[in-house]
Amino acid sequence: MIRRLQPDEMDELIEIWLASTIQAHPFISETYWHESESIVRNVYIPQSETWVYLNQGKMVGFISVLNSLFIGALFVCEPFIGKGIGQALMKHVKEIYPSLSLEVYQKNQRAVHFYHHQGFRIEESAWQNETRHPTWIMSWQAEKTL
């Protein structure tokens, strides 16, 4: 089941974000992610529209969209990766927003492949000064119907 993030679920969401982001980015120091937790918790998530995926009442994934167009986060707990949860969350936001973009580390090949499979296309390359790693800016546009 997908629904909006509730205010009292921030700790659970941050737990998923931290574990998943460390696992997805082994090329970046864990310390960086621990130091980023505060800004994710207090700035990015509160400024986003966030939906969570519940499995038997427990949060196992989430997606956050900033400014109605930028996917700032899409994370799924490790045991649930490959079970359609990321696809379901992506489908949910694609039904709401006609155009979406995101930034993904080039070395995160699993995520790059997933986004390609979801219809996102690479628009440009970027550089993250904080982590000193290159990223892709990817975008998706809904099909226009006549």
User: In this structure, which CATH number among 3.40.1710.10, 3.30.540.10, 3.40.50.1970, 3.40.630.30 belongs to the domain 2-141?
Assistant: 3.40.630.30
- The structure's pTM equals 0.95
pLDDT mean over 89-97: 97
Q: Where are the domains of the chain?
A: 2-141
- Look over the chain and give the mean of its residue pLDDT values, rounded to a whole number: 96
Evaluate whether 120 touches 71 at the Cβ level (below 8 Å). Answer: no
Spatial distance between the Cα atoms of 132 and 139, rounded to a whole number of angstroms: 22
C-alpha torsion sign, points 103, 105, 109, 110: negative
Place of tokens 């939906």: 51
Q: Which of 26-40, 47-61, 132-146 has the lowest mean pLDDT?
A: 132-146
The confidence score (pLDDT) of residue 144 equals 76
Residue-wise pLDDT tens digits, 34-57: 999 999 999 999 999 999 999 999
| Residue count (the chain) | 146
The confidence score (pLDDT) of residue 146 equals 61
Q: Phi first, then psi: what are they for 69, rounded to 5°? A: -155, -15
pLDDT mean over 56-70: 97
